[in-house]
């Protein structure tokens, strides 16, 4: 597999472009124009991890016969920096180095797998993606990628406007409450008596002159 940089935008030309395919990493200055070749990696290796790295300091260490410990001084944009390193012949040579590298990869892979599982379960990504794939298999759309993208957008297209939930009328609106009944107390028999007596009494005759 070969990866070529075609264009760049707002990237410092002194930055370093790093590409990892599987366990193989290639990196070079982004302005070098050189291709990134992975001879033993097939096109099935997916995804590629691409990093933009910035160099903050550079130093050279010149090894001295009989000396194992060195102090390295860096000069860069972040000011003066330094570190101390030990350089010695490794015991066991390449066999030990290969074993340590393999052990490191196992530990890293185990930690990465656990982190990935926790992340996917926490966001319910697997359940959603599985449901989308099942729908694609059932529907068999002509453009499966566009179909899946629609589901990832909750069914909306890029330019669709979502209806306001608060503006939508409720389907089952409760009927209006009846007007409150007159709560004035009914008159007692004693209160009704004068009115009934007035109705029963005949009208008085007018006095003749």
Q: How far is CA 85 from CA 36, 61, 63, 92, 165, in A?
A: 31, 10, 11, 20, 63
Residue 115 and residue 99: Cα distance in Å, rounded? 24
Q: How far is CA 52 from CA 2, 34, 66, 150, in A?
A: 18, 15, 38, 31
Q: What percent of the chain has pLDDT over 70?
A: 68
Please determine, for residue 53, whether its predicted confidence score (pLDDT) is greater than 90: yes
* Mean pLDDT of the residues in the chain: 78
Say whether both 46 and 77 belong to one domain: no
Q: What average pLDDT does the segment 172-177 reach?
A: 61
Is 143 domain-assigned? Answer: no
- Best CA proximity match to 59, nearest among 46, 49, 72, 44: 72
Say whether both 65 and 32 belong to one domain: no
pLDDT at 14: 86
Say whether both 12 and 48 belong to one domain: yes
* Residue 42 banded pLDDT, cuts 50, 70, 90: confident
Instruction: Return the structure tokens found at 14.
Output: 């002194």
How many structural domains compose the chain?
Answer: 2
Residue 152 and residue 162: Cα distance in Å, rounded? 15
Say whether both 11 and 47 belong to one domain: yes
- Best CA proximity match to 23, nearest among 95, 104, 116: 104
* Residue 117 banded pLDDT, cuts 50, 70, 90: confident
Strands 16-21, 2-3: pairing kind: unpaired
Contacts of 38 (CB under 8 A, 6+ apart): 1, 2, 3, 21, 24, 26, 45
- Best CA proximity match to 37, nearest among 62, 70, 3: 3
Residue whose tokens read 């707002």: 10
Q: What is the pTM of this model?
A: 0.43
For the ranges 53-62, 174-183, 193-202, the lowest mean pLDDT is seen at: 193-202
Is 27 domain-assigned? Answer: yes
Q: Which domain holds residue 27?
A: 2-53
Is 8 domain-assigned? Answer: yes
pLDDT at 156: 85
């Amino acid at each position: 597999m070969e990866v070529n940089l075609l264009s760049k935008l707002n990237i410092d030309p002194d930055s370093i472009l790093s590409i990892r395919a599987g366990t193989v990493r290639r990196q070079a200055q982004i302005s070098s124009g050189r291709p990134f070749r992975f001879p033993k990696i097939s096109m099935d290796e997916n995804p590629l991890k691409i990093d933009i790295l910035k160099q903050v300091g550079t130093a050279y260490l010149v090894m001295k016969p009989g000396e194992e410990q060195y102090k390295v001084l860096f000069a860069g944009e972040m000011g003066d920096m330094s570190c101390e390193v030990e350089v010695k012949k490794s015991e066991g040579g390449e066999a030990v180095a290969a074993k340590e590298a393999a052990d490191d990869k196992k530990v890293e892979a185990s930690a990465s797998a656990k982190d990935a599982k926790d992340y996917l379960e926490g966001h319910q990504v697997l359940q959603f993606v599985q449901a989308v794939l099942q729908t694609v298999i059932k529907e068999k759309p002509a453009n499966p990628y566009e179909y899946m993208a629609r589901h990832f957008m909750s069914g909306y297209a890029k330019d669709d406007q979502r209806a306001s939930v608060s503006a939508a009328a409720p389907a089952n609106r409760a009927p209006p409450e009846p007007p409150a009944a007159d709560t004035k107390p009914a008159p007692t028999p004693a209160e009704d008596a004068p009115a009934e007596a007035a109705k029963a009494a005949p009208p008085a005759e007018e006095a003749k002159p």
